[in-house]
Chains A and B, each alone.
Chain A
Amino acid sequence: MAEAMVKSVGGVLARQGILVAFLVFMIGFTFWNPRFIDIDNVFGVIRSSAILGVMALGVTFVVIGGNLDLSVGSMLSFSAIVVLDLHENPAFGPALAIPAMFAMTLCLGALNGFLIGYLRLNSLIVTLGMLSAIHGLTLTYSGGQNMDIANQSATWFDVFGRGSALGIPVPVLIFALLAAFLGIVLAKTPFGRKVYAVGGNGTAATFSGIPRARVVFLTYIISAFCVATAGLIQASRTMGAQNTVGQGLELEVLAAVILGGASLLGGSGTIFKTVIGVLILGFIQNGLLLAGLEFYVQFVVTWVIIILAVWLDIATKRGKLWSPIA
């Protein structure tokens, strides 16, 4: 009886380990500093995680499909720079700048998807090349200059980053709505199931008639769409951007997705878990700052947490703590 209890508790821990860790972390920090759970603080954390979070939603699709996307960081810089530049262009204005930016970013995603999905090239190297190429493209586009909106009071463009609706900051709203929508797409639609199938076992998926190339292609389109949305939030929040605004974000995004429990081998992970992963990173950062520690301490903590999370995950799957590597 007791043994069964232990087993079932262990099972829950193994399946929802990341959620349990998250709750323990939150409760512990709240006891230590009640301000941590203050509603303003919580919204503040979610708002500052929104950009990373929106990008992570798209990357979750790519990772479940068995691929990687390292180009999201420089793609974010690209979309932010482009939308700001077009906003300043009298021929466009904000109403046209946004769809035009989305179209251009989706083209980059389509290129990723074409190379990886249809030509079946290695996603790590292709997106690594795209990271570099898009960065070059952004610099060429902007001539190395920062982009700023000159007359900030005369535009409604700041609504995506600074506005709030129903008392909820718009970035949080966008993140929540997009997460809900993509969560349903991934969990409840035939397309979502195909993404899992392709990532879990590509050959089997092909043999069961799933158009592998198209599914992979679409995951990159989704990723690019999320990046464009994140770029919009970023540009709108700061009303200006440097060429390197997204530099290094690709690996932080990947860290959040992995922390959420998605396997890099593909076929596992959910949107909900990715959101938890993003929030964990956000709250760790916030908690350490509230504790009076410098921002860089979170890097070290994140390092330890990522490795422990993935280690425990695979240890429960193989039933042994230590690896079988001789």
Chain B
Amino acid sequence: MNNDTLKNLLKNGAIWGFIVLELVFFEVAGSWWSLSDNAFMDLDNMLLLLKQSAPIGIIAIGMTVIMINGNIDLSVGAIFALSAIVMLDSMSWPFMEAMGDGAIPLAWLFALLTGCLLGFVNGMVVWKTGVDAFIVTLGAMLGYRGLVFMYNGENPTFHLNWTMVDIAEANVLGFETPALVFLAVVLVVWLLMTRSIHGRNAYAIGDNREAAVNAGIRVGPHFLINFVLIGFLSALSAVAFYSGSGSVNPNDGMLFELWAITAVVLGGTKLTGGRGSIIGTFGGVIAIQLLRKGLGHIGANSETVNLVIGSILIIVLLLDRQLNRKGAEELKV
């Protein structure tokens, strides 16, 4: 019993332990090797880190929901790019230009609707055809990227609106807008997954779909809602990021799906569905960003980041299997 609690603590707290380890390591190592005199654990630095982790972080939160539900979404990067293009391009439509700054919320709305629509298409295809989500979203990853290119060729789309930039860089208690959006998303989706019927059903479906069906849960609508949610969040991520930068390349957002999945898995969500937590993913996102920043801080080449993150992902998987070994053996025939 006592052993079990320890194990659970180890499993659920692992990501936070890892973050503390990173902080201490980079603080100590930084004082030896760092080129700058700034401390690593500096408040400004940490706030910046939160802001920088927002684009991938918001998407990763959606990916957690999808993966808890037992699906996967590889098209998030393309949805991110297409929503960004719609947002920036719509600002230069004649009737939008006539509205002046009043067009900003409308542009955001268009972007978010684009995300919802693309997610809806994925969700409907998964629901109605029964094709595995991996294949559906793999195809959509290509298809949506094609739409991104068709929208404006290989040219970047840009529209700089200073009011929008001001909103994107607004500062509340040191938190910039993207960071605030990220925190709000974490809170809302955490409430959704832990306090709502939809959340509970999503866990149940991911855990054992057949049992969920027998319990009278309708699987399809939950799939659909979650795909719309991740589409919405991908678009929200684009809104938070591109309102400030004002320019989007057709290749933007590539490999976001892989980063998001990495963060989710680091946060302890199971690929097989049914288990995982929003807070864990939040930890995973922070851990990855800390690693990127920290390696830069101690003067390591930026190339090493990929190597380290890849290795950590595999090691986490290995440790996780060791911790869960007993349960897995009981399940085996």
**A residues touching B (Cβ–Cβ < 8 Å)?**
70, 115, 119-122, 124-126, 128-137, 139-140, 143-144, 203, 247-248, 251-252, 254-255, 258, 264, 294, 296-304, 306-307, 310-311, 314-315, 318, 322-326
Residues of B within 8 A of A131 (CB): 258, 310
Interface flag for B135 (CB, 8 Å):
yes
Main secondary structure of the interface of B (DSSP, over half): helix
A251 touches B310 (CB 8 A): no
Q: Which of B12-20, B140-148, B158-166 contacts A (4 or more CB under 8 A)?
A: B140-148
Identify A134's interface contact among B128, B130, B265, B310, CB under 8 A: B310
A326 touches B136 (CB 8 A): no
Residues of B within 8 A of A128 (CB): 258, 261-262, 313
Report the Cα distance A177→B139, complex, angstroms: 30
Report the Cα distance A98→B310, complex, angstroms: 27
Residue of B nearest to A138 (CB): B303
* Given known A125-B271, A323-B130, A325-B127, contact A306–B139 (CB-CB < 8 A): yes
Residues of A within 8 A of B223 (CB): 325
Q: Chain B, interface size: which category?
A: 35 or more
Residues of A within 8 A of B128 (CB): 322-323, 325
Report the Cα distance A300→B143, complex, angstroms: 4
Q: Which of B177-185, B238-246, B314-322 contacts A (4 or more CB under 8 A)?
A: B314-322
Residues of A within 8 A of B310 (CB): 129-136
B314 touches A323 (CB 8 A): no
Report the Cα distance A131→B259, complex, angstroms: 11
Report the Cα distance A306→B129, complex, angstroms: 13
B307 touches A133 (CB 8 A): yes
- The 24 sampled A-B contact pairs (Cβ below 8 Å) are A70-B258, A115-B318, A125-B261, A128-B262, A129-B310, A132-B310, A133-B309, A135-B306, A136-B309, A247-B254, A251-B74, A254-B138, A299-B146, A300-B142, A300-B143, A300-B150, A303-B142, A303-B143, A307-B131, A307-B136, A315-B129, A322-B129, A326-B218, A326-B220
Residues of B within 8 A of A140 (CB): 301, 303-304, 307
A296 touches B135 (CB 8 A): no
* Given known A132-B258, A140-B304, A203-B333, contact A264–B134 (CB-CB < 8 A): yes
B146 touches A297 (CB 8 A): yes
Residues of A within 8 A of B220 (CB): 325-326
* Given known A126-B314, A134-B310, A264-B132, contact A255–B304 (CB-CB < 8 A): no
A121 touches B321 (CB 8 A): yes
Residues of B within 8 A of A125 (CB): 261, 265, 271, 313-314, 317
B135 touches A132 (CB 8 A): no
Interface flag for B213 (CB, 8 Å):
yes
A132 touches B306 (CB 8 A): yes
> Nearest 6 CB-CB pairs, A to B?
A303-B143, A323-B130, A133-B310, A299-B146, A136-B307, A136-B306
Interface flag for B96 (CB, 8 Å):
no
Question: Assuming A136-B303, A136-B310, A140-B303, what are 13 further A-B pairs, CB within 8 angstroms?
Answer: A70-B258, A133-B309, A134-B310, A296-B146, A299-B145, A300-B142, A300-B143, A300-B147, A303-B144, A307-B135, A318-B130, A322-B128, A323-B129
Interface flag for B29 (CB, 8 Å):
no
Residues of A within 8 A of B262 (CB): 128-129, 132
A251 touches B318 (CB 8 A): no
A115 touches B271 (CB 8 A): no
Interface flag for B311 (CB, 8 Å):
yes
Report the Cα distance A304→B261, complex, angstroms: 25
A251 touches B314 (CB 8 A): no
Residues of A within 8 A of B304 (CB): 136, 140
A326 touches B142 (CB 8 A): no
Interface flag for B125 (CB, 8 Å):
yes
Residues of A within 8 A of B142 (CB): 251-252, 255, 299-300, 302-303, 306
* Given known A296-B146, A306-B139, contact A132–B313 (CB-CB < 8 A): yes
Interface flag for B219 (CB, 8 Å):
yes
B138 touches A251 (CB 8 A): yes
Report the Cα distance A136→B291, complex, angstroms: 14
Residue of A nearest to B127 (CB): A325
Residues of B within 8 A of A302 (CB): 139, 142-143, 146
Residues of A within 8 A of B150 (CB): 294, 296-297, 300
Interface flag for B187 (CB, 8 Å):
no
Report the Cα distance A315→B261, complex, angstroms: 30
How far, in Å, is B154 (CB) from chain A's closest CB? 8
Interface membership of chain B positions 56-73, coded 1 if the CB is closer than 8 angstroms to chain A and 0 otherwise: 000000000000000000
Interface membership of chain B positions 241-280, coded 1 if the CB is closer than 8 angstroms to chain A and 0 otherwise: 0000000000000110010011001000001000000000
Residues of B within 8 A of A326 (CB): 213, 218-220
Residues of B within 8 A of A322 (CB): 128-130
